[in-house]
Amino acid sequence: MWSRGATAFALALAAAARSRAQLNGLRTIIILIMSTIGGSMIFRFLMPPLMQKFGLLTFNAWAIDGFRKVFWFQDEPWELWPQVSVRVMLIFAFLWLARLLARRWEVA
């Protein structure tokens, strides 16, 4: 399930872009920003509190929090419900957004 969020996000980006060149530039900028504030490049607990809050807007921050709970703190699987539920909601939100944006290509 962890990679499904990235797939749904990629579909939404592809549906939003008008060309491949625009998609390449857009995805590079967005993914680098999300990786930076989401904790993929630097742990979020080392960031200032405001940046930690902004990091929660990214789906990779929730995934990394879940992995930290399991592998570092050895929490039980049922203690992952916040991370899993947010990830599932983001998957559905990105898929809905991709579908909404892709409607412009439909022919009547």
pLDDT digits (tens, 9 = 90+) for 46-88: 999 999 999 888 888 888 888 888 887 787 878 888 888 988 9
Give the pLDDT confidence score for residue 48 in this predicted structure.
92
Domain with 77 in it: 2-105
Contact yes or no for 84/1 (Cβ under 8 A): yes
Intra-chain end-to-end CA distance of the chain, in Å: 35
Counted domains in the chain: 1
pLDDT of residue 108: 53
pTM assigned to the model: 0.79
More confident of the two residues 81 and 108: 81
Task: Pick the more confident residue, 32 or 107.
Answer: 32
Over range 4-28, report the average pLDDT: 89
Mean pLDDT of the chain: 87
pLDDT score of 93: 93
Q: Check residue 71 and give its pLDDT.
A: 83
- Whether the CB-CB separation of 10 and 101 falls below 8 Å is answered with no
Report residue 2's pLDDT band, with 50, 70 and 90 as the boundaries.
Answer: low
Report the alpha-carbon distance of residue 66 to residue 79 in Å, rounded.
Answer: 9
Locate 11 and state its tokens. Answer: 């579909």
Give whole-number Cα distances, 102 to 33, 76, 89, in Å. Answer: 24, 40, 20
